[in-house]
Structure 1
Amino acid sequence: MSYEQITLICIFAVLLGTLVWGRIRYDIVSFAALLAGVVLGVVPAREAFSGFGHEATIIVALVLVVSTGLSRSGAVELVTRRVIDSSHSITRHILEIGGIGAILSAFMNNVAALALLMPVDIQAAQKAGRAPSATLMALSSATILGGLITVIGTPANIIVASYRAEMTGTPFAMFDYAPVGLICAAAGIGFIALFGWRLIPQRSGSSAITELKAIEDFVTELVVGPKSAAIGQTVRDLLAPADDNDVSLIGLVRKGRRLPGRALAEEVGEGDLLVVQASTEALNRFAGAMGLDFQGKAGTAAPLSSDMSFAEAVVNRDSRLLGRSANDVQLLRAYGVSLLGISRNGRTIKQRVRRTPIQAGDVLLLLGNSESLGSVMARLDCLPLVTTATVTDHSKAMLSIGLFVGAVMLSVLGLLPLSIGLGIAVLAYVFFDIVPLRELYDAIEWPIIVLLGALIPLGGALETSGATALIAGGLAGLTVALPGWVALTVILVVTMMLSDILNNAATAVIAAPIAYGLATALEVNPDPFLMAVAIGASCAFLTPIGHQNNLLILGPGGYRFTDYFRFGLPLELIIVVVSVPAILVFWPL
C-alpha cells in the first residue's frame, strides 16, 4: 500500500468514527477531513473546493429551493386537504398519507415532504383519538421510500447519478431509478400499512403536544406593590431575573387593560399586574425576589393578547439550539419567543425548562408574536408541528407545479441538463415571488452542501490513489466464486448498514466508487451495483440517526431507540428481498 492509500484510508476511518460518535456536526467533521487531506498531501490543493462546484452539490441546493417553493405556494396542501380523512382506519390512513408522502418525496426533498405532512398526520391522530406514534414512523419511512423513485428524490441518488457520469460519460436519467424504486416503495408501504405499524408500541395517554399545552394552566398575575423592586424598570429589564427564576414574562396589565404583546418597553409602576407563566415553585421564587404579590391563586388564567400565540416545533439536527439552553441563546431577548416546555422521547420536561440543554428531536412549546413565530422557527432550524405564521398564497400553487414540471420535462427530453432546468425554475420562483428573495438562501440546507463539497474531492482522491480498487479487490476476492447476485446483495447490505449510522449522502460518496470497482473486478455491468448503492444509502430504518426523517419524528412520536430497530429490521429485509431481483431484471449483470 502506498502513502496516499494508507493516509486516505486512515482519514476515512477517523471520519467514519467521528460521524458515528456524533458529538461534532457532520459538516464540520467532513470539512476538517478535507483540510487534513490537503495538508497531508493526498488531496491536491487546487481541487480542494471543487466539490462545491460539482453538479451534484448544485442540484441538491436547487432541489431544496424548489421544495420550499412547492411548500409555500400551497401545492401540497391542495392534495392533502382532499385526501386525508381522520375517520379512516390506520391501514387506510397509512396507505393514503404514505402514498402522498412517497409521491412528494420523489419530486422534492423528503425532509421537506415529512415537514409538510407531519402536522397533518398528528392532527389526524388527535381527531381519531389515537397516539401519533401509531403512524408517524410509518409516514417517515414512506417519505424515505419515495425518494428512491427519481434522481432528485434524495441526495444519494444525485450523487450516484453524477458518479456514473464521471465514470461512463452518462448519468442516470430522471426516471432511471423508477422501475426499482417504485417496486421498493410499493412493497415497503404495503408492509407498513398491513403489518409494520403493529410493531410500533401504541403508548397510551396524552401525546407529548397535549402534555406540553397543559403548561398553559400555570398562567397568573403578580401585583406590583409599593415596595416592589420592579417599579421604575421596564418589562425588558425584568427578563433577566425572570429567566434566573425559570419564569416567563408574557404581558402587562394596567388599570384593567391588557397592553399589546409583552409590552417590553413599558416602565412598570405601582399597581400594575405582571402576567407570568411558570410552575408554582418558580412563581414563589420570582415573587419573593422582586417583592411582588399574588393577584389570585396560581392557575388563575390571564388571557393572552390577540397578537400572541403558542406553537409546537421539533428541533432539527442542524438547529443552532443544539446543546444549548434557552437561557444560553437568550431566546426571549434575541428572538422574542418564550420556551414554555420541552417533550423528549415522550417525556415532558417542565422543571428548569429554560436551563435544559436542547437535543435534536425535542418538541418545544413556544410562545410569541403570531406574525413572527414562523420566521423565528425557521431561523432556529425548527420544524413547526401545528402552528405556523407563514403566509401561503394558494393562487400560485398551480404556477409552482407547472414551473417545476417544465424543468423536469426539459431534462427528461434531453433539451437541458437537470441542473440548468432546475436553475431556471428557481429563478422563476423568485421572479414570481413564490420564494421571496430574502428567503432564497434560507431554503438551502447548508450543512448538507458543506458535507458534499468536502467529501466529493476526498472520494475522488480515494479513487485516484487506488484505495477504492484495493477495497473492491478484497470484496471481489470474497465473492469471485459466488454468483453475481451475491456480490450485489453484499454491496446493498453493506451500504444499508453504513447508512444506518451515517448521513445517506456521505454513504453514497463512500460506497459508489467501491461498488463500481467491485463490478469492474468481477467484469460485470456496474449499473446494478450503483443502483444497489442508491437503494441502500437511502433505506436507513434501524436507528433515529440514520436519516434526518427518523430523527424528526423521535420527539413528536415519543419513540425510543429500540422502536426503530423493531420496526426497521423487517422493513430493511423486505427491501433487500424485493430490490435485488428487481435490479437484476431492469439492470442485468
Structure 2
Amino acid sequence: MLKEYLVFAILIGALALFIWGRWRYDIVALIALMATVACGAVPYRDTFLGFANPAVITVAAVMVLTEAIMSSGLIDVVVKRLAPATDNALLHIAVLTIMAAVLSAFMNNVGALALIMPIAMVTAAKQKRSPALLLMPIAFGSILGGMTTLIGTPPNILISTYRQEVVGKPFAMFDFTPVGLGVAIVGIVFIIFIGWRCIPKARLSKTSTEDIFSIDDYIAEVLVPAETVLVGKPITAIEEYITKEYAVLGLIRGNRKRLQFSEDEELQANDILIIEAGSKDLEQLINSAKLQLVGDATVTPEVLTSDNVGLAEAVIMPGSSIEGRTPARLQLGRRFGVHILAIARAGESFQQRLKNVRLRAGDILLLQGKSDNLSETIADIGFLPLADRGLRIGMEKGALKPVIVFVIAMILTATKILPVQIAFSGAVLAMILLNIIPIRKVYSSIDWSVIVLLGAMIPVGGALETTGGTTLIANAIASFSGHIPAVVILGLVMIITMTLSDVMNNAATAVVMSPIAVSIAQSLGYNVNPFLMAVAVGASSAFLTPIGHQNNTLVMGPGGYHFGDYWRMGLPLEILIIITALPLILWVWPLW
C-alpha cells in the first residue's frame, strides 16, 4: 500500500518539475525513474527495460527515416513549388498549415515543422507579413497532422504498444486515422478561418526578425591610431579598457575585411575594429584606450558579412544540449567558427551581456560564420536555421530511394506482415546499406533527450500499474460514476490528458494516462479501445502553452509570441477537438 502512494508522490513531483521547467524533461524523467527504483516500485532488473520497449525503438527509427527523407531534397522541392501560392493571407496560412499537417502524418512532426518553418519565414518577409501570422497555425497544424497515423507522433506509438500488452494486439498503422483525420480536418478549418484571428495584434506588427534584432544600434567601427597603447598587443588586450561586455566582430586591415581571425592576433596602427558594445561602454573604451570612432556611431549589419562570411538566424531546439548553457561556456567561435551576435526571446532582443545569457529552447540567435557551410554548421550544433537553406536547386540524385524504402516499411506495417518496430528498424538498416544516409547522421538525427524520456518514463508508468495505483484511481472514479453517462467519463479522460499534456511532455502524459484509462474502462466493464483513443487525442492536443509540445516551443521566439498568447487560439481549438473527437471515437470504437 505504501509503494502506490510513493509512486503517486513521485509522479506529482515529476509533474511539478515538468511545469517548473528549470530542468530538461529527460533529466526529470531519469529522476522519477531513480526514485521509483529507490522506493522498490521498479525492480533493479527492470530499471532500463523501457529502453528496449518497441515504442522507443519505433520513435528512434522514425526520427532517422525523417532525416533521410528531409536530406533527399524531395520534400523541399514539393514545398517550394507550393509556397508561391501566398499572395492572399488566408491562402498563405492554409497552404503552409495543410502542408505541415500532411507531412506530420508520415514523419516526425518536429522534422515537418523544421521543413516548413524556413519557407514560412521567407514568404512572410516577401509578402511583408508578420511571421506570427503563420508560425502558430503551422505548429498547431503539424500537431493535428500527427494524430492521424500510428507513426505521426510518439504518443500514438506508445499507446499502440501498451494496447498490445493489454489485449495482445497493437493498434495498426491507420487505426488512428478515422478519429485523427476527422479531428485534424475540423481543427485545420478552424485555424484557417478563425484561429489565426485570435493571435494578439501586437504580435502581427513585426514584419520580420529584423524588427527583433536591432544590432545596428550597438555595433561600431573603431580606428586603432598609431599613438594608442594597443598597437602591438593582442586583440584580447581590449579587455583592460572596458569593464562590461563587448565583442570584436571583425578586423579591417588595409583594404581587407576579416570576420574570421585569432583573438591573439596583434593589432597594427590604422587597423579598424568592428566592435559590439553598449553606447556607454563603447565611449569608455574609446576614451580610455585613445581609439577613434570611424564615421557615424553605428554601422549597418552588412559590415558583418563578406564574400566568405555570412549571417544567419537560428532557433534553439527543445531538448538540445545547448539549453541552459551560456555562450561563454559553449565557445562556438573556437569550436565551430560561429559567433553569436544577438539573442532574442519572446520577440525582444537582449541588450545586455550576451556572454552570460542562459539560453532557452525557442530563443532566436543571430549567428555569424563561414557562408559556404553556415546552415550545415548551425544544424550540427543543434540549432534550427530559420532562413531558407537554399542548398538545393532540385532533388538530389536518388532522392526517391528513401521514400521508396519508407513506403515499403509502411506497407509491411499496414498489412501486418511485420510489427512496426521491425519494419521501421529494417528500413533504417536498408537506408544505411544503400548509402542513403551515413552512419554518423543516423545517430545525430535521433533526439536522444526524447529517447531517454521515453525509456525512463515507461517503467515509471508501469510502476503505477503494478503497485495498484491505476486500480485505485479507477475504483475512485467508478464509485462516483454510477449514473454518469459513458461519454462524460470518456470526455473526462480526454480533458485530464489534455490538461497534463499542456504542462508536461505529451509522450510522458501518454505513458502515465494509458494504464489509468485502461483501468477505468475495465472497472466499468467497457472496451479499452475508446479510452486509449481518448488518451491518444488528448495527449496530442497540447495547444494552451508553449511548453506542452516541442513545436509550440520552436515557434515562440521566431513568432515573437508570449506565454499567454497560445491559449487564445488553443482553448477554442481544444474545445472543438473534444466536441469532434468524442462522437467519432464512440462511432469507430464502441464501448461494448
TM-score over 0.5 for the pair? yes
SS in structure 2 at match of 1:252: strand
Which position in structure 2 is the counterpart of 1:294?
A: 293
In structure 2, what is the Cα distance between the partners aligned to 1:508 and 1:403?
Answer: 29
Instruction: Give the C-alpha shift of residue 207 in structure 1.
Output: 3.8
Distance 2:411 2:517 in 1: 30
TM (norm. structure 2) is 0.93
Q: How does 1:175-214 map to 2 (within 5 A)?
A: 175-203=174-202, 204-207=204-207, 209-212=209-212, 214=214
| Shift of residue 205, structure 1, vs aligned partner | 3.6
Name the counterpart of 2:124.
Answer: 125
When structure 1 is superposed on structure 2, of 168-177 and 341-350 the one drifting more is 341-350
Residues 588 and 357 (structure 1), Cα distance of their counterparts in 2 relative to 1, 3 Å cut:
same
Rounded Cα–Cα distance in structure 1 between residues aligned with 2:390 and 2:418:
37
Shift of 1:573: 0.5
CA deviation profile, 1:494-545 (whole Å, cap 9, x unmatched): 1111111110000000000011111111111100100110000010101111
Quick check: 1:502 aligned with 2:504? yes
State which drifts further: 566-575 or 68-77. 68-77
Query: Are the aligned partners of 1:48 and 1:457 in contact in 2 as well (CA < 8 Å)?
Result: yes
CA 1:201–1:252 in 2, change beyond 3 Å: closer, same or farther? same
2:109–2:146 Cα contact (<8 Å) kept: yes
Residue aligned with 2:151, SS: coil
Pairwise CA distance, 1:309: 0.9
Counterparts of residues 274-293 of structure 1 (less than 5 Å) = 274-288=273-287, 290-293=289-292
Q: Tell me if the contact between 1:27 and 1:447 (Cα under 8 Å) persists in the aligned partners.
A: yes
* TM-superposed deviation, 1:372: 4.4
1:232 is matched with 232
Q: What SS does structure 2 have at the residue aligned with 1:175?
A: coil
Would you say 1:144 and 2:146 are equivalent positions?
no
Aligned-pair CA distance for 1:415: 2.3
Label 1:61 to 1:303 Cα distance change in 2 as closer, same or farther (>3 A): closer
TM-aligned CA deviation for residue 240 of structure 1: 6.3
Whichever residue aligns with residue 589 of structure 2, its letter is: W
User: 1:261-311: CA deviations, max 9, x gaps?
Assistant: 335564432232223344443433344455433333333564632111111
1:410 aligns with 2:412: yes
2:476 to 471, 474, 477: 474
Q: CA deviation at 1:333?
A: 3.2
Count of residues in Structure 1 that have an aligned counterpart in Structure 2: 587
Give 2:282's aligned amino acid. Answer: L
CA apart distance, 1:233? 4.1
How big is each residue's C-alpha offset from its partner over 1:326-383, in whole Å with a ceiling of 9 and x where there is no partner? 2343343343222222222222323433333333222111111224433443344321
Deviates more, 1:190-199 or 1:418-427: 418-427
Task: Tell me the SS of whatever aligns to 1:24.
Answer: coil
Q: 2:154 matched to which residue of 1?
A: 155
1:329-348 equivalence runs, <5 A: 329-348=330-349
Is 541-550 or 293-302 further displaced after alignment? 293-302
* Cα contact 1:101–1:146 (8 A) shared by 2: yes
- Give the residue type in structure 2 aligned to 1:164: R
45-54 or 277-286, larger mean C-alpha shift:
277-286
For the structure 1 residues 326 and 290, does the alpha-carbon distance in structure 2 shift closer, same or farther, using more than 3 Å as the test?
Answer: farther
Which amino acid letter does the alignment assign opposite residue 189 of structure 2?
Answer: G
Summarize deviations over 1:450-483 as a string: whole Å, max 9, x none. 1111111111121122111111111222223222
Deviation at residue 42 of structure 1 after TM alignment: 1.4
1:39–1:93 distance in 2 versus 1, CA, 3 Å: same
Q: Report the alpha carbon displacement of residue 25 of structure 1 after superposing the two structures with TM.
A: 1.4
Match of 1:441 among 436, 440, 443: 443
- 1:257 aligned residue: 256
Determine the structure 2 residue equivalent to 1:465: 467
Q: Structure 1 416/197 Cα, relative in aligned 2: closer, same or farther at 3 Å?
A: same
- How far apart in 1 are the matches of 2:507 and 2:104? 16
Match of 1:310 in 2: 311
Q: SS where residue 399 of structure 2 aligns? A: helix
Q: How far, CA to CA, are the matches of 1:23 and 1:409 in structure 2?
A: 42
Aligned to 2:360: 359
Contact 1:374 1:384 in 2 (8 A): yes
* Equivalent AA in structure 2 for residue 588 of structure 1: P
| Bigger mean CA deviation after superposition, 391-400 or 49-58 | 391-400
Distance 1:457 1:113 in 2: 30
Q: What secondary structure, in the 3-state scheme, does the structure 1 residue paired with 2:327 have?
A: coil
Q: 1-side partners of 2:157 and 2:242: how far apart?
A: 46
Residue 251 of structure 2: SS of its match in structure 1? strand
Q: Is the 8 Å Cα contact of residues 500 and 546 (structure 1) preserved in structure 2?
A: yes
Once the two structures are overlaid, the 10-residue window that deviates more, 429-438 or 155-164, is 429-438
User: Which residue number in structure 1 is paired with residue 524 of structure 2?
Assistant: 522
2:63 counterpart residue number? 64
Q: Determine if the alignment matches structure 1 residue 48 to structure 2 residue 50.
A: no
Name the residue aligned to 1:424. 426
Q: More displaced, 575-584 or 417-426?
A: 417-426
Which residue pairs with 2:539 in the alignment? 537
Query: What does residue 381 of structure 1 align with?
Result: 382
**Which aligned pairs between 1:88-107 and structure 2 lie closer than 5 A?**
88-107=87-106
The alpha-carbon deviation at position 446 of structure 1 amounts to: 1.0
For residue 503 of structure 2, give the secondary structure of its aligned residue in structure 1: coil
Show structure 1 runs of 5+ residues with no match: none
Aligned-partner SS, 2:426: helix
2: CA distance between counterparts of 1:88 and 1:304? 31
Change (3 A) 1:62 1:252: same
In 2, Cα distance between the equivalents of 1:561 and 1:479? 36
Which amino acid counterpart does residue 464 of structure 1 have in structure 2? T
More off after superposition, 327-336 vs 24-33: 327-336
Match of 1:451 in 2: 453
* Residue range with higher mean Cα deviation, 221-230 or 5-14: 221-230
The residue identity in structure 2 corresponding to 1:366 is L
Q: Which amino acid aligns with 1:314?
A: V
Contact kept? 1:249, 1:262, Cα under 8 Å: no
Could you say if the C-alpha distance between residues 44 and 289 of structure 1 is closer, same or farther in structure 2, counting changes exceeding 3 Å? farther
Equivalent position amino acid for 1:60 in 2: V
Aligned CA-pair RMSD:
2.4
Q: Conserved in 2, the CA contact under 8 Å of 1:528 and 1:584?
A: yes
Match of 1:489 in 2: 491
Contact preservation (8 Å) 1:375, 1:390: no
Deviation at 1:243, TM superposition (A): 9.5
SS in 2 for 1:327: helix
**469-478 vs 220-229, which deviates more?**
220-229
Report the residue type matching 2:344 in the other structure.
S
- 1:561 partner letter: F
How far apart in 2 are the matches of 1:352 and 1:71?
37
Distance 2:295 2:17 in 1: 54
Q: Secondary structure of 2:201's match?
A: coil
TM-score by length of 1: 0.94
CA contact (8 A) 2:326 2:355 kept: yes
Same amino acid, percent of matched pairs: 41
Look up the equivalent residue of 2:196 and give its one-letter code: W
2:490/2:534 contact within 8 Å kept? yes
Q: Which moved more, 1:550-559 or 1:418-427?
A: 418-427
Q: How far apart are the structure 1 equivalents of 2:125 and 2:536?
A: 36
* Contact 1:246/1:354 (8 A) holds in 2: yes
